[in-house]
């Protein structure tokens, strides 16, 4: 049985504001942005709309899985670019796919501990900016070249250059591969699909639904509550600010999805690019405060953070992370799945979310893995990702953790229930979950 932290009254953590950019296909309209500028833009907007004074911020915490090479501590860069005073420190936190959630929970930890009262947190990822890396042989070639003293040595070195050495390493692909299990993320989803009997059609149907929900939410204007239009750096004359997530496929059909070849395991795999999360760029900012501070500043909380948890599991089955993490977070909250209204489970892969749903619903799984006598509960899939998820709008790795907490907070406000769950699986074999409570 894990320890259950307690929140002292007044040190309860509330979300007082949160906004995000639209999520834009990598290599697309945001391709000339960088994490520092994009994060700062949404941070400034969130600060302005919240009405807080930047002087009241105790720290800036930014989740980013792959900070730009020239902005190792991108959290500090974002703070300063957002006009946060120089004396306010800033840090970057990483927990792979949960980096944005890590920013939120790090801030919450600080608030509970009384280390500060007001935090600017972000999740940001510029998937477009993951670089191509020189291969090892090419790196060595340049090292030899620079140490070649004589002309002859230089000529000889240059002559040793082979076309094959020019092949770059794709940082994004390598970043999405778990070094412990040696599996790329898609393969872990294939394992889950086989073990939990998720068919190709199940996965495709889920993907279709994700697009349909995202489209409906967009068309109904629901997302205006969280998206701020953004005109990216590098926008050409006559271009316009982007208002919507742009990876949603309006006319997606099951037939189209069925035509796609398996991407990770040919020929029999079930995971295709169509039923996996898209790769997008985006940033999401939330302002967290102690309940007392929020009250003192006259801020209206969006939601209260009731509990949160991270859990570790087999890296090769990392997709089940939400089940492990939700189990712990529910225990800490003293709640059951019956108390939960809206649910966000990040859609890394359609098959992975469906596997999670089956694990939530399995007594055997609960007994074997969750130190529980009975299953967590049957998921009402209508309440899971009601506005679609990463399959439709994409998964900017470091941003998503913050994005799903924001979405869940808004959904909670619309629902009749008292609690909401935001959870995701984390490459490397972890899960993360945050339980939100209606702010009174």
Partner 1 sequence: MIDVSGLPSPKNAPAVGACVRIERPEKGLARIVLDPPHRSLPVFDLPLLRDLDLALIEIERDTSIKGLVITGRDTRTFAAGADIDAIAALTDRESVARVVEIGQNLFERIDVIGATRPGFTSVAAIGGAAPGGACELALACSFVILCDTKESRIGLPETQLGIVPGWGGTTRLPRRIGLPRALEAILTGKLYPAREALKKGLVDRLCAPEDLLRIAGEVALGRMRLPRRSRGLATLFVDQNPLAAAVIASKAKEQVMARTLGKYPAPLRAIDIAARAARTSTRASFTAEREAVVDLATGPVAKNLIRIFGLSESAKKLKLLPDGKSAPVAAQVGVLGAGVMGRAIASSAAERGAWTRLFDIVPAALDTALIEHRADVAERLKRRKLEKNQAERAIDQLDTTRELIGFARCELVIEAVAERLDVKRSVFQALARQMADDAILATNTSSLSVDAIAADIPHPERVVGLHFFNPVKRMPLVEIVRGARTSPETIARCAAFALALGKTPVVTKDCAGFLVNRLLGPYLDESLRLFAGGIEAGRLDRALLEFGMPMGPLALLDEVGFDIAQHAAQSLHAAYGARMTPSAVLNPLVAEKRLGKKTGRGFYEHTRDRKAKPRLAADLAQIDPAGEARCPVMTDEQIAERAVFAMLAEAARALEENVVASARDLDLATVFGMGFAPFRGGLLAWADTLGARNIVAKLEEISRQSDVAARAGGPERFEPCALLRELARDERTFHGA
Q: Which residues of the chain form contacts with partner 1 (CB under 8 A)?
A: 37, 40-41, 44-45, 48-49, 51, 53-54, 81-83, 229, 231, 233, 235-237, 239-241
306, 298 Cβ separation under 8 angstroms: no
Nearer to partner 1, 242 or 345 (CB): 242
Nearer to partner 1, 76 or 81 (CB): 81
Least Å distance between CB 24 and partner 1?
16
Q: What is the C-alpha to C-alpha distance for residues 90 and 109, in angstroms, rounded to an integer?
A: 16
Terminal CA-CA length for the chain = 31
Nearer to partner 1, 154 or 295 (CB): 295
Nearer to partner 1, 85 or 114 (CB): 85
How many CB atoms lie under 10 A from the CB of residue 153?
13
Catalytic residue numbers, as ranges: 97, 395, 425
Least Å distance between CB 51 and partner 1?
4
Q: What is the C-alpha to C-alpha distance for residues 312 and 398, in angstroms, rounded to an integer?
A: 18
Q: What is the C-alpha to C-alpha distance for residues 389 and 66, in angstroms, rounded to an integer?
A: 22
Least Å distance between CB 241 and partner 1?
5
Least Å distance between CB 66 and partner 1?
21
Least Å distance between CB 44 and partner 1?
5
Nearest to 426 by CA among 113, 168, 63: 63
Q: Which long-range contacts (CB under 8 A, 24 or more apart) does 110-113 make?
A: 110/58, 110/59, 111/11, 111/13, 111/288, 111/289, 111/290, 112/5, 112/7, 112/8, 112/11, 112/13
Q: What is the C-alpha to C-alpha distance for residues 218 and 388, in angstroms, rounded to an integer?
A: 10
Nearer to partner 1, 41 or 88 (CB): 41
192, 4 Cβ separation under 8 angstroms: no
Q: What is the C-alpha to C-alpha distance for residues 184 and 189, in angstroms, rounded to an integer?
A: 9
241, 229 Cβ separation under 8 angstroms: yes
Nearer to partner 1, 45 or 125 (CB): 45
Q: What is the C-alpha to C-alpha distance for residues 83 and 5, in angstroms, rounded to an integer?
A: 35
Least Å distance between CB 100 and partner 1?
21
Least Å distance between CB 410 and partner 1?
17
Cβ neighbours of residue 89 under 8 Å, at least 6 residues apart?
A: 59, 60, 76, 79
Nearer to partner 1, 40 or 348 (CB): 40
């Amino acid at each position: 049985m894990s320890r259950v932290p307690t929140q002292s009254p007044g040190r309860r953590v509330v979300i007082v504001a949160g906004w995000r950019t639209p999520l834009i296909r990598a290599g697309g309209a945001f391709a000339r942005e960088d994490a520092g500028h994009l994060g700062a833009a949404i941070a400034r907007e969130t600060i302005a709309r919240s009405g807080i004074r930047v002087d009241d911020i105790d720290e800036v915490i930014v989740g980013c899985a792959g900070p730009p090479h020239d902005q190792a501590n991108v959290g500090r860069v974002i703070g300063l670019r957002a006009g946060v005073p120089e004396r306010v420190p800033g840090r970057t936190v990483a927990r792979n796919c949960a980096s944005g959630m890590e920013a939120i929970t790090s801030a919450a930890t600080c608030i509970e501990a009384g280390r500060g009262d007001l935090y600017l947190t972000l999740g940001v990822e510029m998937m477009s900016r993951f670089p191509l890396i020189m291969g090892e042989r090419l790196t060595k070639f340049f090292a030899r070249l620079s140490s070649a003293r004589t002309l002859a040595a230089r000529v000889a070195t240059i002559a040793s250059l082979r076309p094959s050495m020019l092949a770059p390493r794709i940082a994004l692909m390598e970043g999405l591969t778990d070094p412990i299990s040696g599996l790329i993320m898609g393969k872990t989803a294939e394992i889950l699909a086989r073990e939990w009997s998720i068919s190709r059609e199940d996965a495709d149907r889920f993907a279709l639904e994700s697009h349909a929900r995202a489209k409906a939410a967009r068309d109904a204007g629901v997302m205006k509550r969280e998206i701020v239009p953004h005109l990216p750096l590098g926008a050409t004359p006559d271009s316009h600010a982007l208002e919507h997530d742009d990876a949603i496929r309006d006319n997606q059909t099951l037939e189209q999805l069925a035509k796609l070849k398996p991407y990770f395991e040919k020929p029999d795999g079930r995971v295709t690019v169509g039923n996996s999360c898209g790769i997008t760029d985006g940033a999401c900012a939330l302002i967290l405060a102690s309940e007392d501070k929020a009250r003192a500043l006259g801020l209206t909380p969006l939601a209260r953070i009731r509990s949160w948890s991270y859990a570790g599991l087999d890296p090769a089955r990392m997709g089940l992370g939400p089940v492990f993490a939700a189990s712990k977070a529910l225990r800490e909250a003293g709640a059951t799945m019956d108390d939960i209204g809206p649910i966000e489970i990040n859609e890394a892969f359609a098959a992975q979310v469906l596997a999670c749903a089956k694990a939530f619903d399995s007594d055997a799984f609960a007994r074997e893995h969750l130190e529980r006598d009975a299953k967590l509960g049957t998921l009402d899939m209508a309440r899971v990702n009601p506005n679609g998820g990463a399959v439709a709008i994409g998964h900017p790795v470091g941003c998503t953790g913050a994005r799903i907490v924001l979405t869940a907070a808004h959904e909670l406000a619309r629902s009749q229930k008292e609690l909401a769950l935001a959870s995701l699986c984390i490459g490397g074999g972890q899960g993360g979950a945050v339980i939100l409570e209606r702010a009174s």
